[in-house]
Amino acid sequence: MTVTTPTTETPAGVIPLPAAGARLTTLVGAVATFASTWLAWTWTDEFPGNLTVTGYPGGLQLLTLVGSLLVLAFTLSTQGVRGLRWLTPGGRNSAVRLLALGVFATTAFTVIAIAVELGGLANLEPGGWIALVASLILALGALGLPADVPAGEDPPANAWQKFVHSLKAPTAREAKELPSWAELLIIAGSFGLGLYAFTYGIDAEDGSPFLGYVIFIAFLAPAIGRAGLTKQLARLTGKHKNVTATAAFVAAFAFPFTQSSDQYASLGTNILIFATVALGLNVVVGLAGLLDLGYVAFLGVGAYTAALVSGAPSSPIGTTFPFWAAVLTGALASLVFGVVIGAPTLRLRGDYLAIVTLGFGEIFRIAMQNMDGTSGPDLTNGPNGIPSIPELEIFGFNFGEPHTILGVELGRFSNYFLLMLLFTAVVVMVFRRADQSRIGRAWVAIREDETAARAMGINGFRLKLLAFALGATLAGFAGTIQAHVTYTVTPTQYKFVEAVPPNSAFLLAAVILGGMGTVTGPLIGASLLYLIPNKLQFLADYQLFIFGVALILLMRFRPEGLIADRRKQLEFKETGQLDVPKGEEPGLTKVGV
């Protein structure tokens, strides 16, 4: 693999004067911004994070501090400083530019938030003004850096074109082969950093601290991708799949042990439920290409079934199954509903199938609401649902009581988090096996072109029904845990659109946002779509607007999703395979001997 280098008219080893000035400005701005985080930004500790202490950064100052250090390291890496070259294996100045803009955006947001929440710019200390000016100098210096332009392309004409160019795929660069132990260490360290970043975000206070965190991550993630680190990590994880799965499971397992209280462990538990259901929907939408808008109903089937057979006082069945039997019963009920609904409807395609599945979701909700003994049979207590679902107890381990594990006391939600993590691992294993099997390849063929798949001898209806049934079963599995976590199962939890996920609309958005047909994509998409609305409840009136804007930007700059498989990347990105070579006329290629 050859290294793609930016074009330049200056001799090799000579840095153009404007580029040298921009690089020096970037370095000075990074150092000044780093120093400003050690000063007080406001005089009162009423602003979250206590930004009043000189010599001790806190709150959003930590994000500015980390960002400025990363800009400094990335800038030195682009200059070939020994020991830092590995930071930019794929990209060059574009990664610095994105990081610098992220530092400025985070710092400017913090200054504005201080002024708005505390009642004016008078609440800013000199350190806040120094941080704003220093981060502005940093951003201006980074925007002046030359763009990374492959040979044969025209350079961007202005700063906006440079920014848009920074969001494109990084240039190719040959990776240096590392020892196996070093690769395994990198994988473990990456998941450790991911756990720390997730824990920092989930522990951030609602409002300004979390919104600043989102802004910072929104610039940091593409900057890391542009630098080429994401591509390098993907290569390592693809090479060591078993180690990657183990590291991911260990990192997730360690999450409850990082929490001092059970408050945010409940968020983690609900995120896992949402993510597991989204992964089940990914079988239907991502692999088989079936647009299902009523998928949340299968989650409800599993939840209602578990509530009816788990010994709830208001259950008319009046029986108590052991945990494993309740789980299997809920999954079996969802499987039956999947087959019953799918058999007569899967002969439809596209929008017609979407309308039918949407109708099924509404029929389920209305049916559960009417089974109150008056409008229908007395089975679900109507709109009141089934409350007081007892806690799970497995081999004498009561999930509703605190337990001490490895010297750390885990509360109720931490216990359910670990149980749900085990369920998620099972669903991931099922998805991976199905995706890599002959049936999985047949699903992809149906998704790409069902007519061509039928012509090749694939029984489209039977395989689509199998995908529908498998997806419903996985949702039923998650529903059995959700019933015990939430204590109560009501029809309003399973609408098409609801303020709090999971619901059909957000499940579908999680699959598309994360990346259809992948394992990690729906998990990441579901985590974002559940965490962000819960942490930004003060923006309740504008959440759908912000969500719509985010989707538009995603479709513009990342139509294949955050984590895309190779097929989607080839589908949405231009490969240039059919381009006519420059300087050649269309026709046969000349071959020289």
Backbone φ and ψ for 220, nearest 5 degrees, come out as: -65, -45
Q: How far apart are the first and last CA of the chain?
A: 24
**Is 372 strand, coil or helix?**
strand
Rounded distance between C-alpha atoms, residue 7 and residue 281, angstroms: 46
How many CB atoms within 10 Å of residue 570?
13
pLDDT recorded at residue 144: 86
Identity of the residue numbered 466 = L
Rounded distance between C-alpha atoms, residue 569 and residue 283, angstroms: 19
Indicate the DSSP class of residue 175. P
Report the chain (593 residues): mean pLDDT per 10 consecutive residues: 40 52 90 94 89 90 93 85 72 83 95 91 91 94 76 50 50 60 87 88 85 91 86 84 88 86 83 90 88 88 90 82 88 92 84 87 89 80 86 83 80 88 89 88 88 87 90 91 88 75 80 85 86 77 76 79 71 52 44 38
The closest of 484, 478, 475 to 307, measured between CA atoms, is: 484
Residues 6+ apart with CB under 8 A from 483: 302, 303, 304, 306, 307, 310, 330, 389, 489
Q: Which two tokens stand for residue 44?
A: 């009162």
pLDDT recorded at residue 6: 43
Q: Do 227 and 87 form a contact (C-beta atoms < 8 A)? A: yes
pLDDT recorded at residue 17: 46
User: What angle (nearest 5°) sits at the alpha carbon of residue 417, between those of residues 402 and 525?
Assistant: 155
pLDDT recorded at residue 38: 94
Q: Which two tokens stand for residue 282?
A: 């990914």
**Is 318 strand, coil or helix?**
coil
pLDDT recorded at residue 590: 42
Q: Which two tokens stand for residue 57?
A: 């950064």
Helical (H) or strand (E) element with 27: helix 17-36
Q: Which two tokens stand for residue 267?
A: 């968020």
* HSE value, Cβ hemisphere, 13 Å, CA-based, for 537: 7
Per-residue burial over 523-544, b if 16 or more Cβ lie within 10 Å, else e, is bbbbbbbbbbbbbbeeeeeeee
> What are the extents of the domains in the chain?
17-239, 260-401+410-525
pLDDT recorded at residue 349: 80
What CATH code would you report for 260-401+410-525?
Answer: 1.10.3470
Indicate the DSSP class of residue 171. P
